[in-house]
Chains A and B, each alone.
Chain A
Amino acid sequence: MALVLTEEQSMLRDSARGLISDKAPVSHLRSLRDSKDATGFSRELWRTFAEMGFSGLLVPEEFGGSGLGCVEAGIVMEEIGRTLMPSPFLATSVLAASALSRGGNEAQKAQYLPKVSDGSLLAALAIDEGAKHRPLQTKLQATRAGNGFKLNGDKAFVVDGHTADLLIVAARSAGAAGDKNGLTLFLVDPKSKGLAIERIAMVDSHNAARIVFDHVEVNADSVLGEVDEGYALLDGVLNIGRGAVASEMVGLSEEVFGRTVTYLKERKQFGKAIGEFQALQHRAAQLYIEIEITRAAVLKALQTLDADPGKAGTAVAVAKARAGNTATQAVQEGVQMHGGMGMTDQFDIGFFMKRARVCQELFGDSNFHADQLARAKGY
């Protein structure tokens, strides 16, 4: 498969870009932050997303979605990265939609997927517990009780957890922290007794939640996939999320870079445009090259996720590691090359820096993924 977008994919990109740049430029995020908006995103815009078919992009057509793939999801994520639009797209349309359509039984799919497609159901995936992404270390305990389970433990960094109508929770039903076996995914109603959700305002003005599970009861029907054998499903879903976040970082990096190059041509010091100084030219060229190479790696990962998801692990690790490094470099150079202006809140570039930091941590940072690659290659 050629590593370029098809005509349909380019059209999808144009329509996503048109909508997002028009309705949600960076000022959209800024005003949500400044008004301390309780939701943290625009529900009206989410309805528009649904009308355009974006919310059900990964949902199979029989459940009201468009049945498209990871490349297409990545295209939307990339446009989101360009304006930093806060949106349930990642948590609901990428993560939850993938988890439900890959792991759900017919009843679960019929119950939830149409609502994901039409935008009426928001969902969140609860995995992380400690300071770093270590899905194998999941400790949140699922103990059998009656014909169901009781959940006890804590989750952190649950993207959009505060607005979710449905939580997908990774829990340990057997084995010890570190084991691949013994993980189970549960579909949990956030209003369940014993469940406490705290919205966390993060550095990037996006939303995540800390969630405490205190003897939360779930019945047997709420198991997503197989009891004790949830790791493969979880890993597959996480890989899709990683590919999506890597795409967001590509969009983010490219936007910051574009703004910075424009500034290099406009800003004058010493009687000339600062873009005439070779010290800056070479760094700008290096950054351009990094972004181009990362873009290729990310597209490769997304295409592999669509063509052969079981073999996508390595390509995804490469993409997420690269995207994290590239975004970090892009935002640092972006601020640096803007001089004092780059440090001001009034200027948008800082928003990109903050978001890049969060994207790094989402589903494993560059070090995590380099380590995954090393393990896969047997060293």
Chain B
Amino acid sequence: MSDLEKFRREARAWLGQNCPPEMRKPMASDSDTFWGGRNATFSSEAQRVWFERMRDKGWTVPHWPTEYGGGGLDGEEAKIVRQEMAAIGARQPLTSFGISMLGPALLKYGTDEQKKEHLPKITAGLIRWCQGYSEPNAGSDLASLQTRAESDGDDYVINGQKIWTSYANHADWIFCLVRTDPAAKKHDGISFILFDMTSKGVSTKPILLISGYSPFCETFFDNVRVPKAHVVGQVNRGWDVAKYLLQHERAMISGMGERGVGRPLGQIAADSIGADEQGRLDDAPLRSQIASFEVDEAALAAAAERAVDLAKAGQSHPAFSSAMKYYGTELNKRRYEILMSAGGIDALEWESERSRGGARPRAWLRTKANSIEGGTSEVMLGIVAKRILDLPGA
């Protein structure tokens, strides 16, 4: 038996023993996600147990170095853990922007001190992060951001406003893009900086989404003092860090959606619509829509697997995560259009008990943001045209 084979057996056995049955069911709502942080609460005992066991094993982030609380696994082993978790439907024990966004950027650009300070608190779920990129006048054109950081001794003094900051009102720290050199060209005067959301002068104001939830905020900075040592990477080279982080964010968003787990979409549809004598969904056009959706979904799963393998083989294009982000998010929107159509009038209920407070229509509406957040679909296509296809003027 090869080492990997052996590793797979051990991983399977360990997960089988340690993942509580409740944590193997598909998530029903946002509260099933554990985000960690200073004020974290567990929605169930099973959630707590699962998180703590995975944390102690180093598997909240299996591929990070052990010195930072990760599992120290190589790419092949981490893939096996993911596959074995997927095989039993195990939930992520911890979800956080620290894992999917900040961590990779710190590992690449952070100083030893910064890594030692922040990474262990991410793997242990102690600190919850938010992302301060977008501003009212800097969305797709992110590099035109105006939040200022002025030098004052060993500190920067930050003034300005961010918007669409997901979970800013629950976050402990923020990774933030600020302008440190207003005279430079727009990409050249930006720095990437970290600070505590309890700092004096930080305030947030939640914004209500069309789903009726309010996961994001306007975030205001009024003379916020931040030590200069909190800049990640070089001063005025924050755009490199920001872009690198975005690649990881896009890869993460492209993987959203409960791909391939739970019951096939066609059967969910048959539950409410019915099937003919041969077991075929009683809505032929919807059946074909679902079938071609599932063809594309399976193909995307293969592409996601291949993207990881290509990266490992050193053959991937750095902009490829934009391609995956585009396709994954458009596909997730298709999934929810199908689910709404499959549910028919039942999927229109917004507040009732039987609809679990309108879980499906709210999730449907939430997916519409997938092709906006982390860079819009149009921006992704522009990046592919320019950086991969090398088309002129893109």
Chain B residues, Cβ within 8 Å of A367: 288
Q: Which B residues touch A369, using CB under 8 A?
A: 295
Q: Given the complex of chains A and B, what is the CA–CA distance between A47 and B239 in angstroms?
A: 57
On whether the beta carbons of A265 and B392 are closer than 8 Å, the reply is yes
B266:A275 contact, CB within 8 angstroms = no
Segment touching A, from B48-56, B229-237, B376-384: B376-384
* Residues 317-352 of A contacting B (Cβ, < 8 Å): 317-319, 321-322, 325
**A374 and B389 in contact (CB under 8 A), knowing A2-B309, A288-B323?**
no
Which residues of A lie under 8 Å from residue B303 when comparing CB positions? 292-293, 295-297
Is residue B294 within 8 Å, beta carbon to beta carbon, of the partner chain? Answer: yes
> Of the candidates B264, B306, B310, which one forms a contact with A378 in the assembled complex, judged by CB atoms under 8 Å apart?
B264
B359-394 interface (Cβ within 8 A of A): 378, 380-382, 384-385, 388-394
- CB of A379 within 8 A of CB of B384, answer no
**Distance (whole angstroms) from the CB of B158 to the closest CB of chain A:** 35
A299–B303 Cα distance when bound, in Å, is 10
Give the chain B neighbours of A366 by CB distance below 8 A. Answer: 292, 295
- In the complex, what distance in Å separates the CA atom of A143 from the CA atom of B388? 59
Contact status B381-A374, CB under 8 Å:
no
Given A296-B299, A296-B303, A322-B299, A276 and B313 touching (CB < 8 A)? no
With an 8 A cutoff between CB atoms, is A168 at the interface? Answer: no
The interface stretch among B119-127, B220-228, B273-281 is B273-281
Q: A285-B381, A374-B291 are in contact. Are A292 and B270 (CB under 8 A)?
A: no
The distance from the CB of A277 to the nearest CB of chain B, in whole angstroms, is 9
Q: Report yes or no: A296 in contact with B267, Cβ–Cβ below 8 A.
A: no
Contact, CB under 8 Å: A296 / B302: yes
Classify the secondary structure of B's interface with A.
helix
Asked, given contacts A3-B309, A276-B393, whether A300 binds B302 with beta carbons under 8 Å apart, the answer is yes
Is A294 close to B, CB under 8 A?
yes
B141 at the interface (CB under 8 A from A): no
For the complex, is A176 an interface residue (Cβ under 8 Å from B)?
no
A 269-301 binary contact with B (CB < 8 Å = 1; else 0): 000110110100110111011001111110110
Query: How far in angstroms is the closest Cβ of chain A from B254?
Result: 11
- The distance in angstroms between the C-alpha atoms of A377 and B280, with both chains bound, is 10
* Chain A residues, CB < 8 A from B298: 297, 314-315, 318, 373
With a cutoff of 8 Å between Cβ atoms, the chain A residues found around residue B385 in the complex are 281-282, 284-285
Give complex CA distance A375, B294 in Å: 12
Q: A52 vs B21: C-alpha distance in the bound complex, in angstroms?
A: 56
Chain A residues, CB < 8 A from B105: none
B window 297-339: CB within 8 A of A: 298-300, 302-303, 305-306, 309-310, 312-313, 315, 320, 323, 326-327
| Cβ-defined partner of A377 (8 Å) among B292, B294, B296, B326 | B294
Interchain CB contact under 8 A, A278 and B382? yes
Q: A288 and B315: CB pair below 8 A? A: no
For residue B246, CB closer than 8 A to chain A, the reply is no
B250 within 8 A of partner (CB): no
CA distance A369 to B389 in the complex (A): 31
Q: Which residues of B are interface residues toward A (Cβ below 8 A)? A: 264, 266-267, 269-270, 275, 279-281, 287-288, 290-292, 294-296, 298-300, 302-303, 305-306, 309-310, 312-313, 315, 320, 323, 326-327, 378, 380-382, 384-385, 388-394
Q: List 8 A-B contacts (CB under 8 A).
A: A261-B389, A265-B392, A275-B393, A282-B381, A285-B382, A285-B388, A319-B299, A366-B292
Sort A-B residue pairs by CB-CB distance and give the 3 closest, nearest first. A379-B266, A297-B299, A276-B393
